[in-house]
Homo-oligomer: A and B are copies of this chain.
Amino acid sequence: MILIAGPSANGISERIAELRGEKSYSTAHKVFPDGESYIKIPHEIAGEDIAIIQSTNTPQDKSLMELFFMIDKARNMGAKSITAIVPYMGYMRQNKEFNEGEAVSISTIISILNSLQLDNLITIQPHKSGPLRAFKGKTAIVDVTGKMAVYAGAGMRNPLVLAPDKGALEIARKAAASIGCAYTYIDKERLNDTKVSIKHSPSESMKGNDVMIIDDMISTGGTIVQAAEFAKSRGAENVRVAAVHLIMAGNAEEKLRNAGISEICGTNTLPFRGTKTFDISEEIAKSLDEIKSE
């Protein structure tokens, strides 16, 4: 297998290649002054199994278009099989038609990947996995929660995992099981576009606990800030956050720091680097084996 690192590979291709004893090449890439992308696959790949690494870094639309360009080009260059490694898959929140007429973006993206005859798709903890079922090739969904949580939680005293909303309950459960500690959650009710009230919340004190807020992704950071403030109000002294996908839109980092979060931990599915970064390369390398042997 040959690894091709796209412009949004976020530096994971070399380690994956090393772990697997294979070759990795980076695409030649530039953005023209008007904003169009140029991309070149720098190595002969005819007859080879290839894996293209391209996360959907912001701007997501550019990352996706570049992914499409690379898959199509690899096909035209005669690749035997094409695996796309998309550590963070964007557009996962608009996963259904909430209101009539809404474009279900991820469904269009999967349909395009099908039309480009992509063979395999590897991704890490998509926000929802349902839309991926429409993908016609093999799909591997990699879960790094446990390992990331243990790595991010090193040095915590009397740890407690906190899910900032009900949607994060499952990831909190897994994280707590791996760390070997308790977990709890906040349940919110959206009153309107801007107001949210807390319906259920852990009643016990967090005095003496080091709290880890955990979620699959941090976008603007609003949900995490609310959870951090809540934990502090219950007596928690040290509050850190761990999330697989650190999108960190706008001034998210500043907001988290201002809310007294001491550590921002995550993975390298995206370019943001916080206090601790769990390297996903090994898990991706394993999933490549699994997809190959199926």
Chain B residues, Cβ within 8 Å of A70:
103
The residue on B at minimum CB distance from A99 is: B40
Q: Does chain B have a CB within 8 A of A36?
A: yes
B60 touches A59 (CB 8 A): no
Q: Does chain B have a CB within 8 A of A277?
A: no
Q: Which segment, of A104-112, A233-241, A257-265, A286-294, faces chain B?
A: A104-112
Q: Does chain B have a CB within 8 A of A198?
A: no
Q: Does chain B have a CB within 8 A of A47?
A: no
Bound form: Cα–Cα A125–B239 in Å: 58
Q: For residue A269, give the distance in angstroms from its CB to the closest CB of chain B.
A: 14
How many chain A residues touch the partner (CB < 8 A)? Answer: 48
A34 touches B219 (CB 8 A): yes
B37 touches A105 (CB 8 A): yes
A36 touches B62 (CB 8 A): no
Q: Mark A195-211, 1 if CB is under 8 A from B, else 0.
A: 00000000000000000
B58 touches A59 (CB 8 A): no
Bound form: Cα–Cα A72–B91 in Å: 15
Q: Does chain B have a CB within 8 A of A39?
A: yes
Bound form: Cα–Cα A101–B4 in Å: 12
Q: Mark A108-119, 1 if CB is under 8 A from B, else 0.
A: 100110011000
Q: Does chain B have a CB within 8 A of A181?
A: no
Chain B residues, Cβ within 8 Å of A35:
58-61, 249
Bound form: Cα–Cα A38–B65 in Å: 17
Bound form: Cα–Cα A204–B179 in Å: 83
A91 touches B58 (CB 8 A): no
Q: Does chain B have a CB within 8 A of A250?
A: yes
8 CB contacts below 8 A, A to B, read: A34-B58, A34-B60, A35-B60, A38-B103, A40-B103, A59-B59, A61-B62, A68-B108
> Known contacts A68-B108, A115-B116; can you find 9 more A-B pairs with CB under 8 A?
A34-B249, A35-B58, A40-B101, A61-B61, A61-B65, A72-B111, A73-B102, A73-B104, A112-B115
